[in-house]
Structure 1
Amino acid sequence: MGYVYLALAIVCEVIGTTALKSSDGFTRLGPSLVVVAGYGLSFYLFGQVLKTIPMGVAYAIWAGLGIVLIALAGVIVHKQFLDFPAMLGMGLIVAGVAVINIFSKTVVR
């Protein structure tokens, strides 16, 4: 269940962060409420994750996938542009998360 909770935590965090841009500095109520709910649920779920997955591994997955998904949300929702160096850097982050999950002995299987 740890990886299911981690996936849900990441999705909630991505929703919260995407809404953060839309909140316009917390001046718009609807998106601001989504930010608070998204982050609140995300941190609750991440707390559950840490019961079964080592903290460093869980955070690496959280951060790596979160960066990529938030960048994609920025492209889709906010029409932001990613240049080649940005995409390359994100690819390296994903590769690092893959190395951790494939080769690390600290990953719970």
Structure 2
Amino acid sequence: MNYYFLLLLAIAFEVCGTTCMKLSDGFSKLAPSVLIFVFYAISFFFFTLALKGIDVSIAYAIWAGLGIALITSVGIFWFKEPATALKIISLVVVITGVIGLHLSNRAT
């Protein structure tokens, strides 16, 4: 089984859930409010399966880092949030940290 594919599915559903948080307008819109919980449940399902083959420290770092990068992109391109230099630099730092954690796991 490809555990990294399962992790990517978990990340995709987490990003969908987070996007629905914004779309729910503080739980005032029913469909996106319900979808938050559906997408997060699916995300945790796939994340749990991915943990069968990936160390939790690495899986969580990838999940969080890639999730941050993707939801930042959604914010910039879909919700028209500003793409400031500090935001982009910070995103690069997060991604660099995730890559460093992944490489450190291979070095042991």
TM-score above 0.5, yes or no: yes
Task: Give the drift of 1:103.
Answer: 4.0
Following superposition of structure 1 onto structure 2, how do residues 12-31 of structure 1 map, counting pairs within 5 Å? 12-31=13-32
Q: Distance in 1 between matches of 2:82 and 2:11?
A: 22
Residue pair 1:19, 1:35 contacting (<8 A) in 2 also:
yes
Determine the structure 2 residue equivalent to 1:68.
69
Same amino acid, percent of matched pairs: 38
Report the TM-score, using the length of structure 1 for normalisation. 0.91
- Unpaired runs of 5+ in structure 1? none
Determine the structure 2 residue equivalent to 1:11.
12
- Unpaired runs of 5+ in structure 2? none
Task: Give the drift of 1:82.
Answer: 2.2
Task: Give the drift of 1:102.
Answer: 3.1
The answer on 1:99 being equivalent to 2:96 is: no
Task: Give the drift of 1:81.
Answer: 1.0
Deviates more, 1:28-37 or 1:54-63: 28-37
Following superposition of structure 1 onto structure 2, how do residues 78-97 of structure 1 map, counting pairs within 5 Å? 78-97=79-98
> Structure 1: which amino acid aligns with 2:51?
L
Task: Give the drift of 1:40.
Answer: 0.7
| Aligned alpha-carbon RMSD (Å) | 1.5
Runs of 4+ more than 6 Å apart: none
Q: Distance in 2 between matches of 1:76 and 1:12?
A: 18
Aligned residue pairs: how many?
Answer: 107
Residue pair 1:54, 1:106 contacting (<8 A) in 2 also:
no
- The change in CA–CA distance for 1:69 and 1:80 in structure 2 (over 3 A counts) is same
Report the TM-score, using the length of structure 2 for normalisation. 0.92
The answer on 1:57 being equivalent to 2:58 is: yes
> Structure 2: which amino acid aligns with 1:99?
G
